[in-house]
Chain A
Amino acid sequence: MTDSFDDEILMRRVDGELTPEAGAAIDAAAAADPALARRLEQLRGLRRLAREAFPAAPDPRDDELTRMIMAGAAPSGRGRGRLADAVRAAFAPRHAPVWGAVAAASFVLGLSIGWLGQDRTPEGFAVAADGALADAGLVRVLDHDLAADGADSEGRAVGLTFRDGAGRWCRTFQSGEAGVAGLACRRDDAWRLEALAAFRPSGAEVRTASADTPPTVLAAVDALIADEALDAAAEARARDAGWR
């Protein structure tokens, strides 16, 4: 009975490469044939172990690669040095206390080279030339959502909310669909990006603030936070007051 199924068709079954009908036929045969069931289970177990052996986990070195990717999109017609100078000029006052203090500062620079001078893009994340977040969906979430709300339909959620040394409101966020997490702070009635990193949700539950937050973002929080992150009640009050 087992002879009627070769290894290839069983592997196709396990890999989801058969039509539902063909798959059901194998399952039915396996239900009546312990040896066949055992072969299927062995293949399933191998697939499970293979995924377990190579988890897609965040790696600290991804931060450096992220910087490279952001910097790599500098418009080719413009010199990197000039852009970097422009970025420094634009960001120096705000980041003066941060420069050199944490790795996150240079990350912000690398990121800035990527998007400075570009306007909103048709997909992904829109950032205005002055560094203000222009992604309407994310701005809405930062404006209105509370950490307890969890993620919206596109995986956007806020995490920690706190004030920085200058009294600005800052919030960490994640955008599951865009695959990024970051930190934005409020200035001149707009949210400005302070840090951004690759992000992959570990599960459907995104209510907890920092469990999934990339190290780059956490480092930026540590560098900027003046006191402590707000609790739920204080967060709601700050939101209701319009982030004044």
Chain B
Amino acid sequence: MDGFQTELVALLPRLRRFARAVCRSDADAQDLVQATVERALAKRGGFRPGTRLDSWAFTIMRRIHIDEGRSKTRWGRVVTPEDATTPNVADAAQADEGLRVDALAVRDALHRLPEDQRLAVALVLVDGLSYAEAAHVLDIPAGTLTSRLVRGRQTLIQTLTEQGVSA
């Protein structure tokens, strides 16, 4: 077991968290985590030791997610009511135990953000990356990252306020 493997294993909870923030259904998140691990192992030679494995792995996950998104239904555009609720119910049974109603509202609101903003918010607010790190993962300029964060957060606060959730 080498350092790469150890680090990648230790990274699993964060990879899954990021996947759950960008995917609405738990099953999609699991598929995304698995595809990311597979690609990370296949492309291991592309990782430079001494650099951040988390940034590298998040970048892989982001690419896979975007590629899949292009061939799938776009988020929040063409969604049937059933699609919108069923996965959440499944999630609730699985992982939402003890989660406050407010946190559930945030989860739902985040899932309804446009893709670009959702990724930015997931990396900075949920995972806690710095702006520079998040911009690197998303491969966008710092200014673009900031504006997506601002718009995403404004929308979240507005949505939550309308629902009576006090952030």
Contact = CB atoms under 8 A, between A and B. Distances in A.
Q: Do A and B come from the same complex?
A: yes
A42 B30 CA distance: 32
A70 interface: yes
A42 B99 CA distance: 20
Contacts of A72: 5, 41, 44
A178 interface: yes
Contacts of B106: 46, 49-50, 52-53
B3 A124 contact: yes
Interface string A31-75: 000000000001101110111111111110110011011101100
A15 interface: yes
Interface stretch (B12-20, B69-77, B81-89): B12-20
A76 B160 CA distance: 51
Nearest to A118: B2
B157 interface: yes
Interface string B116-150: 00000110111010110000000000000010011
B66 interface: no
Given A7-B150, A66-B12, A47 B125 contact: yes
Contacts of A49: 102-103, 106, 167
B16 A59 contact: yes
A91 interface: no
A11 B6 CA distance: 34
Nearest to A49: B106
B104 interface: yes
B64 interface: no
Interface string A162-189: 0000000000000000111000000000
Nearest to A71: B41
B13 A58 contact: yes
Nearest to A7: B150
Contact of B1 (A15, A47, A114): A114
Contacts of A8: 146, 150
B13 A65 contact: no
A70 B10 CA distance: 12
Contacts of B107: 53-54
A57 B98 CA distance: 13
B10 A52 contact: no
B1 A196 contact: yes
A59 B14 CA distance: 11
Interface string B1-43: 1111111111111101100110000000010011001100100
Given A53-B103, A69-B9, A121-B3, A7 B131 contact: no
A54 B18 CA distance: 8
Given A111-B1, A179-B7, A200 B149 contact: no
Nearest to A68: B37
Nearest to A178: B6
A64 B4 CA distance: 17
Given A50-B125, A125-B6, A69 B41 contact: yes
A178 B16 contact: no
Contact of B153 (A7, A54, A59, A180): A7
A20 B13 CA distance: 31
B95 interface: yes
Interface of B: 1-14, 16-17, 20-21, 30, 33-34, 37-38, 41, 44, 95, 99-100, 102-104, 106-107, 110, 121-122, 124-126, 128, 130-131, 146, 149-150, 153-154, 156-157, 160, 166-167
Interface of A: 7-8, 11-12, 15-17, 42-43, 45-47, 49-59, 61-62, 65-66, 68-70, 72-73, 111, 114-115, 118, 121-125, 127, 178-180, 196-200
6 contacts: A15-B130, A53-B99, A66-B12, A70-B1, A115-B1, A121-B1
